[in-house]
Amino acid sequence: MQTIKAAAAEFLAHRRIAVTGVSRNAADHGSNVVYKRLKERGYDVFAVNPNADHVEGDTCYPDLQSIPGGVEAVVIGTRPERAQVTVDECEKLGITEIWMHRAFGAGSVSPEAADYARQHGMTVIDGGCPLMFDPTSDSGHRAMRWALTLNGHVPRKV
């Protein structure tokens, strides 16, 4: 197992990242916030939602396999019961870096999907948010990381 900080650095070293669960009705939807920040920081980021053609003014893809050129890593921002479908698609496509977003509540974390992914050689960050770590962080997300680590919503090791 590696520390969350090391796993986050490895995940964020990838430049082509898909974010699932990006909403057509952005407001302050967690996946949209992650999507926009990654884009602002120069990542090649791809929105995934089977019910949308465009989000945040960009093309939205129905699934991971539809993304031209593929991706290196995936942020799961859907309901936990949808995580296994994404993990299965990652396995099929050879994507080995997965982040199950979680701030408050269950977030997108599925313990079963995380266990399955690990058993199949994938690295899974099962909690927290990519925006809690450099180079994508901000002071608010760093403060949330500290607090959510205390209650277990951000794992110490993955």
Chain centroid to Cα 4, Å, comes to 14
Structure confidence at residue 27 (pLDDT): 66
Amino acid at 79: R
pLDDT in tens, 139-149: 999 999 999 99
Number of domains the chain contains: 1
The tokens describing 129, both together, are: 């948010």
Which domain does 9 fall in, by range? 4-150
Residue 158 in domain: no
Place of tokens 């960050």: 125
Residue 142 in domain: yes
Place of tokens 């898909």: 18
pTM to 2 decimal places? 0.94
